[in-house]
Amino acid sequence: MPSDSTSGTTSRPGFFARLKDRLGVGKDSAKSAASKLGGALDWLVGRKLDDAMLEELETSLLAADVGLDAAEDIIRRIRKKAANRSVASVEDARAILRESICEILEPRARPLVIPDTPRPFLILMVGVNGSGKTTTIGKLARRLRDQGLKVMLAAGDTYRAAAIEQLQVWGERNDVPVIAQQAGADPAAVIYDAFEAARARGIDVLLADTAGRLQNKAHLMQELQKVVRIARRLDPTAPHEVMIVLDASLGQNAVAQALQFHAAIGLTGITMTKLDAGGKGGVLVALAEQLDVPVRFIGIGEQAADMDVFDAGEFAAALLGSAGQPPERR
Ligand SMILES: Nc1nc2c(ncn2[C@@H]2O[C@H](COP(=O)(O)OP(=O)(O)OP(=O)(O)O)[C@@H](O)[C@H]2O)c(=O)[nH]1
Ligand SMILES: [Mg+2]
């Protein structure tokens, strides 16, 4: 069936408008970083793109979590573009900034595609504690099921019983089976057994949860490496996606986490959550600048509908506080 049925072109209308409204809102930020970045453009009008102005802009970018490398990269790009363009309106300023940000994000906007083979397609979900792994599995299970795929969940977070129950709730809610063992079981064994069960039942996609772990704990990283090794006994190409789930509200720390997980197990996809909960979207620009791993999904809330495919243009527009282009390609 669905060689390109996964997630690429199914964004719900209005998702990025909701993202724009929610970006950076929450926690302690009275005024969101996103609107700061958008609002900061007003002063560009009628001014020459001189060094002082670009320095101010760089400060705004840093405040929006873009990080130093990406902020400098953006300023370089703006200099180049502005050399033969004048900034006459906020819209001009926004367009130049948006293009520059978009150029950095675009190479990372590669949706997750579930090919016809192999089966089951194993997606291993990893990340630090509380980043949103289990919730993302629930959202993704719903999404894939709605696309007609047979989905199964593996309760590979055996660290605490509540984690297994949490996954079971998502399973019931979406009417997808959950393979679990008791708390304390070896996660590699759980995922191995689930893989066998999925194969026997003709499952298309197996979503494997794992316990949250800090990226600097070597023995916890080795545990993940073991999960990968054991899964490869059943299918040498598994896992077919190693997705890290990152909490946007952690700012540059989220980037550091991604770099360390990538070094330890090799990531193939990223989901950025909590862009509604204090996450300043600039962190995605920092990530795109520093890590050549596709950004698959972004999360803007706790419900199943609060996740969508990452779109560079729409995201850049939302970051700058504009509604973005009409979703003509959907
Ligand atoms: N606001 C908001 N909350 C989210 C989002 N994604 C997840 N959450 C919430 O974040 C909390 C942690 O989510 P989990 O899915 O349990 O995170 P986890 O990574 O599985 O956590 P551990 O299993 O403890 O490592 C829950 O309360 C979720 O509802 C999001 O995009 N926005
Ligand atoms: Mg969890």
Ligand 1 atom closest to Cα of 26?
A: 1
What residues line ligand 1, using a CB cutoff of 6 Å? Answer: 127, 129-135, 157, 163, 212, 245, 273-274, 276-277, 299-302, 306
pLDDT band per the 50, 70, 90 thresholds, residue 71: very high
274 close to 249: Cβ distance less than 8 angstroms: yes
Phi-psi region of 222 (alpha: psi -120 to 50; beta: other; left: phi over 0): alpha
pLDDT band per the 50, 70, 90 thresholds, residue 209: very high
Pocket test of ligand 1: the residue of 128, 135, 157 to mutate, having most ligand atoms within 8 Å of its CB, is 135
Dig out the tokens for 225 from the structure. Answer: 């490496």
pTM of the prediction? 0.90
Ligand nearest to the CA of 244: 1
Distance 212 CA to ligand 2 centre (A): 6
Residue nearest to atom 7 of ligand 1 (CA): 132
**What pLDDT is recorded for position 272?**
97
Dihedral of CA atoms 131, 137, 143, 144 in degrees, nearest 10, equals 140
pLDDT digits (tens, 9 = 90+) for 50-59: 778 788 889 8
pLDDT greater at residue 240 or residue 279: 240
Classify each residue of 175-202 as buried b or exposed e, where b means 16 or more C-beta atoms within 10 Å of its C-beta.
ebbbbbbeeeeebbebbbebbebbeeee
Q: How many CA atoms lie within 13 A of 70 on its CB side?
A: 28
pLDDT band per the 50, 70, 90 thresholds, residue 37: low
**What pLDDT is recorded for position 46?**
65
Question: What percent of the chain is predicted at pLDDT more than 90?
Answer: 66
- Does the structure show a pLDDT above 60 at 10? no
pLDDT digits (tens, 9 = 90+) for 153-181: 999 999 988 999 999 999 999 999 999 99
Q: Mean pLDDT, to the nearest integer, of 270-280?
A: 88
**What pLDDT is recorded for position 41?**
61
Ligand 1 atom closest to Cα of 137?
A: 15
Q: Mean pLDDT, to the nearest integer, of 140-156?
A: 97
3-state SS of the chain: helix, strand, coil percent to 5?
50, 10, 40
Ligand 1 atom closest to Cα of 298?
A: 31
Distance 117 CA to ligand 1 centre (A): 31
